[in-house]
Amino acid sequence: MTQTLEHEEVRIHRGPRSGLPLIVAVHSRALGPAVGGCRMRRYDGWRAGLADALRLSEAMTYKCAVSGLDFGGGKSVIVLDRNAPVTPELRAAALTDMGEFIASFDGTYRAGPDVGTSPADMVVLRRSTPHVYCLPEEHGGTGDSGAPTATGVLAALRAGARHVFGSASFAGRTVVVSGFGSVGSRVAAGLAADGARVLVSDVDGGRRDAARRSGYGWVEPADALGTAADILVPAAVGGVLTPETAARLAVRLVVGPANNQLSDDTVADTLAARGIVWVPDFVASAGGVVHTLGRESEGLDHGAAVRRVEGIGDTVRLLLKGAENPLREAKALVGRRLPPG
Ligand SMILES: NC(=O)c1ccc[n+]([C@@H]2O[C@H](COP(=O)([O-])OP(=O)(O)OC[C@H]3O[C@@H](n4cnc5c(N)ncnc54)[C@H](O)[C@@H]3O)[C@@H](O)[C@H]2O)c1
């Protein structure tokens, strides 16, 4: 029996210094070199890390294609043990190992920061390979992409709000922001500045004071997906929209930066059947990659790159126009860019 390998290249390698499993998954290079973050997190074994790399690299293909970028989708993962301590020495060894691993791709896979890594970590990768994005500004990069990602999410939210509520303004709307981190806190600020009532949720209870200082309400994480509101912004982790959570959502619009929000594609049908408009994550979360590649690969200035990020609003308008299922529309848009096969 033959099985189709949907990914163009997947390599797994044990880091010679760290002993940790390192994974690079390239979903597609049909439009250009594969790009995608280098993730470092604890998993229940390397197979779970591999599953994450496969899913996330595929999402990067869609994100680049739908955003009009001539790049493909990839992802790298450093698999930390679920229970073993992570010393600074182990972290540094793992990053050096990953730098050499990425160098072996000769520019056909290019990395940036992701969950568990930062612009400062990219300096370590850069010692082995030039194919690294988002170094800190003092090292010649564009640094943390949280701000442009939030700009893109806000553009997607405005287009979504116009479609659902007939107005792109958030004045008087109640919005639940699940995940009050780098992107979520910026999106919350943008919404509040436009008059929204913002309710924040985060598993890190320490963020509660920061939320209160900003004048936001607080929702316990267990309640975030069932809270009655106008809009939900998933800005924490993937996989939060399941058949079960989709059935109890009490909002009309869902737009956020978290990657791979759906547990599976059928959840998009459930949401559509319930009249809830969900903007696909690979469209709404593309601001960071659009800004970074615009600046670092095309040499755009900041203003031009931000204008391009705001174009995400146009893509969302196009997807929602007459669409029953925005996921299907977005995948059709991807399909029109990608060569068949
Ligand atoms: N930073 C970017 O440029 C970027 C780009 C594209 C996509 N994303 C995705 O957007 C999401 C947010 O990114 P970020 O950079 O703000 O990350 P972050 O780590 O700064 O913030 C995430 C926040 O979510 C909280 N959290 C974790 N699990 C939670 C849960 N189950 N419920 C509620 N809160 C929870 C964390 O405590 C943290 O405060 C991630 O899924 C990330 O992969 C980020």
How far from 338 is each of 65, 174, 289, 335, CA to CA, in Å?
7, 38, 18, 5
- What pLDDT is recorded for position 5? 83
- For 147, the 3-state DSSP assignment is helix
* Residues pairing with 80 in the sheet: 42
Please name the fold of domain 146-286+313-331. Rossmann fold (3.40.50)
Q: Model confidence over 261-299: pLDDT tens digits?
A: 999 999 999 999 999 999 999 999 999 999 999 999 999
- What pLDDT is recorded for position 8? 97
Instruction: Please identify which residue in the block is written with the tokens 């760290």.
Output: 18
Q: What is the mean pLDDT of the chain?
A: 96
Six token digits for residue 71: 């790049």
Find how far residue 287's CA is from the centre of its chain: 9
pLDDT band, residue 2 (cuts 50/70/90): low
pLDDT band, residue 1 (cuts 50/70/90): low
**Among 38, 133, 285, 312, which residue has the most ligand 1 atoms within 8 Å of its CB, making it the best to mutate?**
285
Q: Model confidence over 47-61: pLDDT tens digits?
A: 999 999 999 999 999
Contact 183, 287 (CB under 8 A): no
Q: Model confidence over 156-170: pLDDT tens digits?
A: 999 999 999 999 999
Q: How far is the CA of 69 from the centre of ligand 1 (A)?
A: 24
**Beta strands at 174-178 and 34-43: parallel, antiparallel or unpaired:** unpaired
Cite the active site residues: 75
Closest atom of ligand 1 to CA, residue 180: 39
- What pLDDT is recorded for position 341? 62
**Among 75, 117, 182, which residue has the most ligand 1 atoms within 8 Å of its CB, making it the best to mutate?**
182
Sheet of 277-278, strand order:
217-218, 197-201, 174-178, 231-234, 253-254, 277-278
Q: How far is the CA of 192 from the centre of ligand 1 (A)?
A: 19
Which CATH number, 3.40.50.280, 3.20.20.450, 3.40.50.10860, 3.40.1110.10, labels domain 9-63+72-139? Answer: 3.40.50.10860
Q: How far is the CA of 1 from the centre of ligand 1 (A)?
A: 40
Q: How far is the CA of 184 from the centre of ligand 1 (A)?
A: 7
Region 83-100: mean pLDDT is 97
The reply to whether 146-286+313-331 shares the fold of 9-63+72-139 is yes
- What pLDDT is recorded for position 200? 98
- What pLDDT is recorded for position 323? 77
- What pLDDT is recorded for position 3? 76
- What pLDDT is recorded for position 4? 82
Residues in contact with ligand 1 by the CB-under-6-Å rule are 115, 145-146, 149, 178-184, 201-204, 207, 221, 235-237, 257-259, 285, 288
The residue ranges of every structural domain in the chain are 9-63+72-139, 146-286+313-331
